[in-house]
Amino acid sequence: MSNTRQNHQPRPDEHGSGQRPVYQGAPANALPLTASEDRQWATMAHFGGILAFVPSLIIYLVFRDRGPFTAQESKEALNFTLPPSIAALIVWMLSFIPVVGGFFAVLNALIWVYVAVSSVIAGIECNRGRPYRYPFNLRRIK
């Protein structure tokens, strides 16, 4: 048995060509977005507001250097969705207080409805290629 192990050499068809592929690495810079992709990702940043600030943050961090419209609109969406997301989290925790929990639960639902409706309106405008500015936005991220 030891004799067969010593004589065993991998055949090319058994484990590929027998050579490791050369690692090329990642490209230095990502390609810029086309106009339609720029508009698409900007729209998704606004629609992502329905799910709180996380989608807008991800789109901003990934695509801010690849498309000017996406950078502008994802920053706008992030500035809009971050404060209500924090407020909704606080109100959600307060909704567990026995006496006033129902009030805070309704308030939390109203916050989500306001953000969702505003995000859909902004997404529709952005999909048409028009920049959108939320009426009540702190614009903390420059």
Residue 90 has pLDDT above 80, yes or no: yes
Residue 54 within any structural domain of the chain = yes
Residue 1 within any structural domain of the chain = no
Residue 115 within any structural domain of the chain = yes
User: Structural domain of residue 61, as residue ranges?
Assistant: 33-127
Q: Which amino acid is at 77?
A: A
pTM over 0.85: no
Residue 132 within any structural domain of the chain = no
Burial tier of 37 (Cβ tally within 10 Å: 0-12, 13-18, 19+): middle
Residue 10 within any structural domain of the chain = no
Summarised one tens digit per residue, pLDDT across range 111-129 is: 999 999 999 999 999 999 9
Summarised one tens digit per residue, pLDDT across range 50-82 is: 999 999 999 999 999 999 999 999 999 999 999
Summarised one tens digit per residue, pLDDT across range 2-49 is: 555 566 555 555 555 666 667 776 566 778 888 899 999 999 999 999
Domain count of the chain? Answer: 1
Residue 102 within any structural domain of the chain = yes
Q: How much is the pLDDT for 139?
A: 77
Residue 91 within any structural domain of the chain = yes
Residue 71 within any structural domain of the chain = yes
Residue 1 has pLDDT above 60, yes or no: no
User: Can you read off the two tokens belonging to residue 52?
Assistant: 């709180």
